[in-house]
Amino acid sequence: LSSLGFMPTKAINGKGLVKLNGAKTLEDMVDRWESFNFDPIRESQVSRAMTRRYFQDLDTYAESDIVIVGAGSCGLSTAYMLGKARPDLKIAIIEASVSPGGGAWLGGQLFSAMVMRKPADAFLSDLGVPYEDEGSYVVVKHAALFTSTLLSKVLSFPNIKLFNATAVEDLITRPSDKGDGNVRIAGVVTNWTLVTMHHDDQSCMDPNTINAPLVISTTGHDGPFGAFCVKRLVSMNQIEKLGGMRGLDMNTAEDAIVKRTREVVPGLIVGGMELSEIDGANRMGPTFGAMALSGVKAAEEALKVFEQ
Ligand code: AHZ
């Protein structure tokens, strides 16, 4: 078996505990395919195994400490830093698409390799993603290696739940503590993305909510689902207007995005390319260092809120 490159595995029982007694290893299966069979199951067990956990998660995360909107490279980097630093915080990630990863998982893979300018190599080293050093920048051999490693780490944190195929369609607000007519953000309104996309031709589709003292928005630049939270801030009169993303300039864009990662209104931190819309910053195209480091900074800003 080892010649096939398999290592003996440990089975995981229904409670998520490692169970060694009586569990088959891959070695047990070799050359025994004639007598092979799976343990029996009833279809409803599969349904219940999935839905019980999903609805338990909806219940658990209805009150979260932090909601991250968008599971692109910035949102996932933010989640990774927060998951490492604060295993005590309940963190929900809401991703409109079925597939997490945002642009890093989509266009980022078209030429396979992913470029990160230094000093973002520090993030890759922390994550354990190998790269080639090209002097002022580094190259990961495939963008999918970056995103899948980041995702696997994020999803392994017991205090982080990713709700994908779910869109944030509004923000929950409360009057600002200052009594100045402004608001602080106090959570998000969500819906399954397919429902969100059909508000014009279907009726009566009640959304769901998550209360949280802090929302971190990393929904990318404007598009069908992009820049969601900053656009909503304009329509609710919390910022006057958007600056609009400017043309491509890698050098100015990446510095600006990291530097401008901040709490834009009380309770709402914005990171990644969504910032380019609010501030009128340049885009950087296919270099991802600013997304990782904006995530590091967004996490740092979030930790300040919880240390107050
Ligand atoms: O599906 C979106 C994507 O996965 C998700 N999203 C957007 N609106 C949402 C909503 N509710 C839930 N209302 C929502 N999810 O947010 C994710 C954004 O990921 P992204 O990769 O687009 O943004 P990012 O800021 O993490 O990374 C930007 C990557 C880019 S774009 C770019 C350029 O155009 O020049 N360069 C880089 C590096």
Residue 14 clears pLDDT 70, i.e. is over it: no
Mean pLDDT of 124-138: 98
Residue 22 clears pLDDT 70, i.e. is over it: no
- For residue range 263-274, what is the model confidence (pLDDT) as tens digits? 999 999 999 999
Mean pLDDT of 183-203: 91
User: Do 291 and 71 meet the contact criterion of CB atoms below 8 Å apart?
Assistant: no
CB-ligand 1 contact for 217 (6 Å cutoff): no
ipTM over the 0.95 cut-off: yes
Q: Give the pLDDT score at 8.
A: 42
Stronger pLDDT, 224 or 298, i.e. the higher one: 298
CB-ligand 1 contact for 273 (6 Å cutoff): yes
Q: Give the pLDDT score at 10.
A: 44
Q: In angstroms, rounded to a whole number, what is the distance separating the alpha carbons of residues 45 and 122?
A: 44
CB-ligand 1 contact for 173 (6 Å cutoff): no
Q: In angstroms, rounded to a whole number, what is the distance separating the alpha carbons of residues 140 and 181?
A: 48
Residue with tokens 């698409």: 97
Range in 25-34, 70-79, 147-156, 200-209 with the lowest mean pLDDT: 200-209
| pLDDT confidence band for 18 (50 / 70 / 90) | very low
Q: What are phi and psi of 38, to 5 degrees?
A: -80, 160
- For residue range 218-233, what is the model confidence (pLDDT) as tens digits? 999 998 889 999 999 9
Considering only CA atoms, which of 44, 49, 59 is closest in space to residue 12? 49
Which residues, in sequence order, are bridge partners of residue 140? Answer: 114
Q: Give the pLDDT score at 1.
A: 43
User: Do 93 and 75 meet the contact criterion of CB atoms below 8 Å apart?
Assistant: yes
Q: How many residues are listed for the chain in this entry?
A: 308
Say which DSSP state 35 is in: G
CB-ligand 1 contact for 266 (6 Å cutoff): no
Q: Which two tokens stand for residue 141?
A: 């051999």
CA-190 nearest atom, ligand 1: 11
Determine the distance separating the centroid of ligand 1 and the alpha carbon of 306, expressed in angstroms: 25
Give the CB-side neighbour count of residue 128, counting CA atoms within 13 A: 7
Residue 152 clears pLDDT 80, i.e. is over it: yes
Mean pLDDT of 54-77: 98
Determine the distance separating the centroid of ligand 1 and the alpha carbon of 273, expressed in angstroms: 7
User: Do 148 and 73 meet the contact criterion of CB atoms below 8 Å apart?
Assistant: no
Residue 186 clears pLDDT 60, i.e. is over it: yes
Mean pLDDT of 195-219: 89
Residue 17 clears pLDDT 60, i.e. is over it: no
> What is the three-class DSSP state of 248?
strand
CB-ligand 1 contact for 103 (6 Å cutoff): yes
| Mean pLDDT taken over the chain | 91
CA-276 nearest atom, ligand 1: 25
Stronger pLDDT, 285 or 13, i.e. the higher one: 285
Q: Which two tokens stand for residue 269?
A: 């931190």
User: Do 173 and 199 meet the contact criterion of CB atoms below 8 Å apart?
Assistant: no
